[in-house]
Structure 1
């Protein structure tokens, strides 16, 4: 910056009466002092110009907006139960990796909390007692059956059949009690506990991957977030008085400060049915093809909504316009080494173009790159 400053001091001279500054300035706007910059310096400062032309422009309603993911292209994955994360295949995937729908991300082995472990111990004690009772009941039923069988011919046949049924019933009860005891015993020892496989619900990229092998997790914390940002939504809010204009629009131009001079075409997707009582505004969604991935969910943007009524008008690039204390200016290239700041009256904004009602003529050259440098050379004059 110091070198640029020295260069400007050496190369820039303010125009004044009695010198030849090339073509006379247009009388359509208020002109400021002329600036003289040698061609070599213009090249070093990367100053670029563009001709003023008549263009087809459309009046647009500009609203603040925010990039958000489509709800069907954004998914979070959490463990359904408390447990320990176990690696799957080559390991737990990392943030930034692409995944396919159904791809295994991790396995969680269920584990128990302190209260659950206490309940399990109590259940195991009860199951063991039930098993002991069932064993005693079976042994008694077998003794009763043996006694009746030894008295065949003396006791009724139906009594023997009832004793046989009692033995079968007691055997079933014992088997049930033993199975319950084994399940609870295995769970208590950490053997045979349920394992849950976590899979990607959609195709996309892992924008969050918080799972670590061996980590204790619970359902309250998502372990993975999958995003498909090839198509995104842009959410804007418009005042209720502008709803009719928005409903008639076919699309919008989206601008982000991260990509100066670029606008992204979006189509109208949905106009909300509810007015926010606090702001008197309505939620509007636009859908945008984002296969290049430049717009990221969470970005703040300007949404220029087409309001219809195209017209032919002189227009300059948005990059050429300087806004200062409620007034608008452009820098004209009035001669090979001459520049002049000119006040202009602007019309509608259509994406990267601004209609100009007064201050320039068709064919004039306006500076579109290096505007900040020229503004700095004026020193506020």
Structure 2
């Protein structure tokens, strides 16, 4: 019995010792020696591998400067080209084609006779009407003399006068019927492909040939209703065509449809393009870049510098700290404007030359946090010596220089007409093709005058 009690006591002491050891390991106090502090602080010092105490490294961030450039307020759409004036020629009366006075693709003038129908019957009717008019005039003149001599009553004079008016009306009707057998060009233009031949019998309203005025072509496109307050007559739109790759054309907005389409909630816009070089054709598909306006010296920053939060936009600005050469962060509320690929316009909150953080925002939780600017364009990702003495160095150059119009602007598109060598070739000799185009471009712009104005 004593032997069992002895082993029970030893087992109880062993359990207590194991429990005490486990508690001590779980609640072991942190080392408080200077050596331990140095070993813990060593990785955060300024120089790698330093064992002495020192401040921790400031968070590394990437920055960019607030730049100024010309921003163009624009949007993209698709449209199609159509003739400034176009009509399908159709006869008003039926008849047999006697003569055709035009060829396919020929330029015609307003009032020019294009098709003549058989008119023998109408010429005979005209001659008959002229003879009847001659008899009516003679009878009426004779009755006037007899009335003056009181040989006939005044009623006979009135009847002869009425007969004279009827004869004149018959002559006018015969002449009008004869004239309707001539099909005239309604305006200056170019004929299409004729669909008739001499000898064909045509009914009234049959298609003969289309006439198109393409000295200026119209551009029809639609914009979402949110742009209806921005688009107005006189603005310019740049367009490119799949049929003419590498070319750019300028259209002048002539009118905006006052009615917004209920199905698509879009507004129709019509522009005009100078086409005296005859390079554009009605029916072409066009990609339109509608330009609403431009702003000079607009403040822009990279779009990654914007931090949206709670319906507002923030940026983190880098400013000089209290110590010389120190840089700290400052959170600023900004108002954004136009957006372009990679760029955002700033309307309020920043000034030209300010420096904003583009990467590393998550390390800056509050204002006044010391920052360390890194430049990935430099070898090793560090700035040159002396770069942190003041404001951060300049950001990479903007994609478009200040004051210059962006690609696809009106000035750039207008230069497409001139070509590289102008009216002379590379050898200095006159280029006949370019010279003819230059002559075609002379004169007033057809988009700046009425469609029915005389040339």
Which TM class, normalised by the smaller chain length? 0.3 to 0.5
Structure number with greater CO (CA < 8 Å, separation at least 6) is 1
Greater fraction of residues in strand: 1
When normalised by structure 1's length, the TM-score is 0.45
Is the radius of gyration larger for structure 1 or structure 2?
Answer: 2
